[in-house]
A and B are shown apart, each in its own frame.
Chain A
Amino acid sequence: MNSVPATDRYLGIEPLRPWAVTRSTRLKNLSRLFVFALVAFLVTITTPLAKFDGWAVAFLLINVAWVFGQSSRLGAKERQDAVLRVVFTSLAVLAFVPWMSIFLTVLLKGYRAIYPGYFFSDMRTSTPEDEFNIGGAGHAIVGSLIMVAIATVVTLPLGILSGIYLTEVRGRMTFLVRFIVQSMAGVPSVVAGLFIFTTIVQPMGKYSGMAGGLALAVLMLPTVSRTAEEVLKLVPEDLRSAGYALGARQWRTAIMVVLPTVKSGLITAGILGVARVIGETAPLLLTSLNTNGFVWNPVSGTVASLPTYIFSMFMYGTEYSTSRAWTGSLVLLVLVFGFFVLARRLGTTPAQNAKTNSRKDRKLKKKS
């Protein structure tokens, strides 16, 4: 028995997943849905039910009718199952519709002004009503990224430290800190802008990217520290005990045991904060304003950003400038989407990494 290599001993036995939905059932369900969609489409041309909403209603009604028609043949449990499935699927679709609608609107109205130069050129030598092949929002993208970077550099350490204070230190001020963080989350963004305007912009005597970044930091901090606190709360007490039992001090345990355990969660906290502030307009109008060219120095003066770019393009009001504004919105959406993808990527936990690694090892072993 041992003479046969372990991997070849059971050749010919296929791993099965009898609990999974089989391909034929899935195909049957999909084709049924397709037929229903077609029927719903026919309904929209022949009856007063019209457009997408009409189609959605017709589609839903057909599905419900089918379930009830089917239900006489099913047992009580299966009938419950089928009805609930239709209800929840339609609710899911319903929740999906506004999101799709927003994204499609931005895409359809914004794609016209896109050309490669849009991402690299600014508006110094072109006006908003120029053709789409000159000018762009490169300066706004750069400005936004610089200000968000400043905000992140300020808030990430602060947020994580306050999270540590709330979960690890649990000092006497816990209540106060939590209260302040929570009420900061409710500060209107204009007020954050005004705060920085009076504390930074006025004393410095000029608008700047630094001021914009700090205004964004005020808004970002509560998100980051709340998320960091929630994430740190998830660390099992056993791990802390294990750290203490090795003779580590509380601070060392927090830094070397607790934080690495939730690294992915903390990165997510940062990215959620970024996504929260990258579209903020009001505080930037009060702190960094807008400009037509690239600005790399955050303390030199006014800086463009995507939200203020969109705002000013809309204000200009011509056909071409409005299109440019939509394109700016599209870029902003894609940027936020990109940040979330990045969060997922960086957010893989060490355990998952270990798993993929060991799988790689196994593959390597097989090859050799």
Chain B
Amino acid sequence: MTKQNVDTSTTTLQQFDSATEFKGLETRGAHAWFGTHHALADVSLRFPERTVTGLIGPSGCGKSTFIRLLNRMHEFIPSAAMAGEILLNGSDIYDPSEDPALIRLKVGMVFQKPNPFPAMTIRENVLAGIKLAHLKRDNHDDIVEQCLSRAGLWKEVKDRLGAYGGSLSGGQQQRLCIARSLAVEPQVLLMDEPCSALDPGSTLRIEETIKELAEKITVVIVTHNMQQASRVSDFCAFFLTDGGPGYLVEADETRKIFTNPTDSRTADYVQGKFG
């Protein structure tokens, strides 16, 4: 049932992105600065369609900075600067002709701390993106149901869609946030440690959600939890810093990263020898 709903929604989406079918997200030599502080250096990564990529590495190695580069949230920091190319569907998202708001419509984001809009009900929260971006949709009820279902929250809240987002538990709030970002039909969903503030049960539910999402969209997830990375991701990228800017050590299939990595530092990290 969920599947079918998802399919019908794709047709309504066509009006704004029929021209830009997802052809992958890719970075080439991406750098990031905060003022004079070089935070991230020379990251070249490809995120294939319908996959989950886990970004792992110790704190302060630029993982969060990196995913904020991917949907132009980096530039909100006043002293921020960047270099390199970030290609979405083959065109550079940092080209001056690109509208950052449209980029962020295609590349959604879920944050570390659940942040449902407190003044909106559950239903309004899910539809918030559609309202904020002035998207034309007539099947609001369907969207609410299918987004909440895909986020694994529908069964728990279907009888109280009029309740406020803040009345949910932490894990439910985070799934509401996922549902909210799904409603605008992003091609890529970025997740910045989405489970770090949650209990194991909620974490498990969200991991299941991520796996289901990957059947339709591309997911990039930052995580500090090795088990989580190995459970949910198809590919893994290992970041590290040695005092200077963070850089990419290696990126490969998750199985390979965890069983037979090329770099000895990756092996040490995934085995818990440091970090």
Contacts and interface: CB of A to CB of B under 8 A. Distances in A.
A16 B96 CA distance: 12
A14 B36 contact: no
A176 interface: no
B31 A15 contact: yes
A17 B42 contact: no
Interface stretch (B178-186, B213-221, B240-248, B254-262): B240-248
Interface in A8-34: 9-10, 13-19, 22
Interface residues of B, number: 24
Contact of B83 (A6, A13, A77): A13
Given A9-B244, A10-B41, A18 B35 contact: no
B17 interface: no
B82 A18 contact: yes
Contact of A15 (B72, B83, B95): B83
The A interface is mostly helix, strand or loop, or mixed, namely loop
Nearest to A366: B36
B41 A18 contact: no
A7 B244 contact: yes
Contacts of B245: 6, 10
Q: Please name the 6 residue pairs, one residue from A and one from B, whose CB atoms are nearest each other, closest first.
A: A6-B244, A15-B81, A18-B94, A19-B75, A15-B33, A17-B81
B81 A16 contact: yes
Interface in B54-110: 72, 75, 80-83, 94-96, 99-100
A6 B242 contact: yes
User: Considering residues A14, A16, A77, A362, which has the most beta carbons from chain B within 10 angstroms of its beta carbon?
Assistant: A16
10 contacts: A2-B242, A6-B243, A6-B245, A10-B41, A13-B29, A15-B33, A15-B83, A16-B82, A17-B82, A19-B100
Contacts of B100: 19
Nearest to B134: A77
A124 interface: no
A86 B192 CA distance: 39
A359 interface: yes
B205 interface: no
A354 to B, nearest CB: 13
Nearest to B94: A18
Contacts of A18: 82, 94-96
A19 B72 contact: yes
B83 A16 contact: yes
A211 B81 CA distance: 57
